[in-house]
Structure 1
Amino acid sequence: MSSPDGGGAQPRTFTPDFLTELFRNPLDPGYADAAARRARGEGPTAARRKLFSAISALTLAGVGFLLVVAYRQTVADEPARARARDTLIEQVQNRREETAELQTRAERLRAEVADLRERQLGGAAVARLRDLEAETGLAPVRGSGARVTVGDGPTPIDPATGERRSEARVRDTDLQLATNALWAAGAEAIAVNGQRLTSTSTIRQAGQAILVDFRPVTTPYQVVAIGPESLVENFRDGTAGRFFRALHTKYGMSYDVAEVRDVTLDAATEPNLRQATPSTPPTASPSSSPSEGG
């Protein structure tokens, strides 16, 4: 191509602009050299990697040493803990056996006392005494009535904290409600899991356990009462029956009330009788003498 002025043709050259050069060589030469050194295992990155590997190895060795020491200590202490646990179990078993022996002895002595008393009293006095003992719970009774059974439901777990909740557990107030409702419905004698109730009986909570006259009872709890034929119906249709049905529906607690016939309730243990005594003997009142000329 010739120029317009008729001169000789000059070749036209084009230098690459900045963007073209950037896309053609996107990596800076310094970064390229560093990547090459890393590929050959040279440079500060390799040194840091070796240092990190050494620190990791030392850390793992230290943790392993601590675990070995803790395991050896646990193994060394295990016999002592096992011996202490076995000793406690043996003591509990011995105390239970002693309690059972004392209870058997107390019942035998009670029977001897009753026999001697009947020999001395005899007649109408003995019959009246037996009636009073049956009413107060100090003598076994036999008859028909109702049996109320309640038991713990499934234990829910709090999804946020993971703690076990106690809404579905039977409480001492529940058993108190059941026994009071049976008394109100006409019951003449009541026993909770075989523990006969008297006028001085207590139903209390002690941690997760329920105590009836300081004796533990466990689920399912059976409250057996001797009374009139309407005892079951009165309990089922009363406030207590509706309350336990609500607990069964809401928390899954077991509940049942049924009629029982020809059931025997054992006598309660002898109560600890207490009496008050004056701290100081009473002083004699001064005698009044007639006044002169009175």
Structure 2
Amino acid sequence: MTVPDPDGGSGKRTFGPDFLTELFRNPLDPGYADAAARRAESGGRTGARRQAARGSAAVVLLLIGFLLVVAYRQTVAEEPARTQARQELVEQVQRRRTGTEELQARADKLAGEVAELRERSLSDAAVARLRDLEAAAGLATVRGSGAKVTLADGPTSVDPVTGERRTESQVKDTDLQLAANALWASGAEAIAINGERLTATSTIRQAGEAILVDVRPVTTPYEVVAIGPGDLADDFRDGYAGQFFETLSARYGMSFEVTEVKDVTLDGAAELKLRAAVPSTAPPASPGPSTSESPASEGGR
């Protein structure tokens, strides 16, 4: 449709189609169309660039593979050195352990010689009293009947949310302290945990995941053997400690058992470190409760 031009042009004015009609007629933006046309004209150069990009990627992948091979060969070459160093450390630990055992055997032999010389110099009554005091202090071997408390770790579970191990079912140092204290309170005269004799200065403490009796590690199952009255096992089982361990066993799966033992022998402690000593005129008494360097514990989780 044309109309005269009021501004004095060619005399005709042309009206273009509306926007929607033009959109449906030419859906592609003119800029994209021009770019497609230019790419079509320079097709040879685009192919060359593509080949160059592929070549660069191949070179990069080849370089990465080469670096991985070098790293692997270096790791394999260093592995014998690591294995040798680890083996040397293991052998060193074993040599030190053997040396420690030899020194301990020598110390025990010398202690026996000293005791023999001492008994020769003392009267029979003094020797008898000395043996009673050593037995009460935990330095002499004792023999008799009593009770055995056995504690063992239960199954270890994993927290499904945090992934951390739950240790409620594991025996702790406070549990062994509680067992020893309860046995002392029930009249025990001598106690040993996994063969380690307790004295008045013994400590039971946690060191990481290990439990130390004095300075020696003990592991599950833990056997707390005590020499004392005939009803020692029943008194422990019916007391607070027995009820507490029964609860732990039912709730967390910890193993707990109390049995009566006959004619057991407890070796003397290897060493006793005295902080103070005074002459005693009273009858010998059994050692006090064995705890860590904190007040008596009642266990717990």
Question: Contact 2:211/2:219 (CA < 8 Å) preserved in 1?
Answer: yes
Q: Residue 130 of structure 2 corresponds to which residue in structure 1?
A: 129
Number of positions where the alignment pairs a residue of Structure 1 with one of Structure 2:
255
Task: Tell me the CA shift for residue 43 of structure 1.
Answer: 10
Q: Residue 207 of structure 1 corresponds to which residue in structure 2?
A: 208
Kindly provide the amino acid, as one letter, of the partner of residue 239 in structure 2.
G
TM-score (norm 1): 0.74
- Determine the C-alpha separation between the residues in 2 that align with 1:157 and 1:89: 32
Residues 1:166 and 2:167 aligned together: yes
Q: Residues 155 and 66 from structure 1, CA distance in 2 versus in 1: closer, same or farther, beyond 3 angstroms? A: farther
- Determine the C-alpha separation between the residues in 1 that align with 2:246 and 2:59: 64
Q: Residues 229 and 49 from structure 1, CA distance in 2 versus in 1: closer, same or farther, beyond 3 angstroms? A: farther
Task: Tell me the CA shift for residue 97 of structure 1.
Answer: 0.6
Q: Residue 243 of structure 1 corresponds to which residue in structure 2?
A: 244
- Determine the C-alpha separation between the residues in 2 that align with 1:224 and 1:80: 47
Q: Residues 164 and 122 from structure 1, CA distance in 2 versus in 1: closer, same or farther, beyond 3 angstroms? A: same
Q: Residue 219 of structure 2 corresponds to which residue in structure 1?
A: 218
Task: Tell me the CA shift for residue 164 of structure 1.
Answer: 2.4
Kindly provide the amino acid, as one letter, of the partner of residue 243 in structure 2.
R
TM-score (norm 2): 0.73
- Determine the C-alpha separation between the residues in 2 that align with 1:44 and 1:154: 70
Q: Residue 175 of structure 1 corresponds to which residue in structure 2?
A: 176
| 1:226-259 deviation per Cα after TM superposition (whole angstroms, max 9, x unaligned) | 0111111111111111111122122211111111
Q: Aligned with 1:269: secondary structure?
A: coil
Structure 1 range deviating more: 160-169 or 267-276: 267-276
Q: Residues 157 and 119 from structure 1, CA distance in 2 versus in 1: closer, same or farther, beyond 3 angstroms? A: same
Kindly provide the amino acid, as one letter, of the partner of residue 224 in structure 2.
V
Task: Tell me the CA shift for residue 138 of structure 1.
Answer: 0.6
Greater relative contact order (CA < 8 Å, ≥ 6 in sequence) = 2
Task: Tell me the CA shift for residue 75 of structure 1.
Answer: 1.1
Q: Residue 90 of structure 1 corresponds to which residue in structure 2?
A: 91
Q: Percent identity?
A: 67
- Determine the C-alpha separation between the residues in 1 that align with 2:46 and 2:236: 83
- Bigger radius of gyration: 1
What pairs up with 1:1-294 in 2 under 5 angstroms?
Answer: 57-58=58-59, 60-274=61-275
| 1:145-204 deviation per Cα after TM superposition (whole angstroms, max 9, x unaligned) | 111111111221222233323222211111111101111111000000100000000111
Kindly provide the amino acid, as one letter, of the partner of residue 247 in structure 1.
L
Q: Residues 197 and 49 from structure 1, CA distance in 2 versus in 1: closer, same or farther, beyond 3 angstroms? A: farther
Task: Tell me the CA shift for residue 66 of structure 1.
Answer: 3.3
- Determine the C-alpha separation between the residues in 2 that align with 1:59 and 1:247: 62
- Determine the C-alpha separation between the residues in 1 that align with 2:161 and 2:49: 43
Kindly provide the amino acid, as one letter, of the partner of residue 209 in structure 2.
Q
- Determine the C-alpha separation between the residues in 2 that align with 1:259 and 1:110: 33
Q: Residues 226 and 214 from structure 1, CA distance in 2 versus in 1: closer, same or farther, beyond 3 angstroms? A: same
Q: Residues 67 and 201 from structure 1, CA distance in 2 versus in 1: closer, same or farther, beyond 3 angstroms? A: same
Kindly provide the amino acid, as one letter, of the partner of residue 254 in structure 1.
S
Task: Tell me the CA shift for residue 53 of structure 1.
Answer: 6.0
Kindly provide the amino acid, as one letter, of the partner of residue 205 in structure 2.
R
Q: Residues 275 and 175 from structure 1, CA distance in 2 versus in 1: closer, same or farther, beyond 3 angstroms? A: closer
Q: Residues 150 and 115 from structure 1, CA distance in 2 versus in 1: closer, same or farther, beyond 3 angstroms? A: same
Task: Tell me the CA shift for residue 44 of structure 1.
Answer: 11
Q: Aligned with 2:165: secondary structure?
A: coil
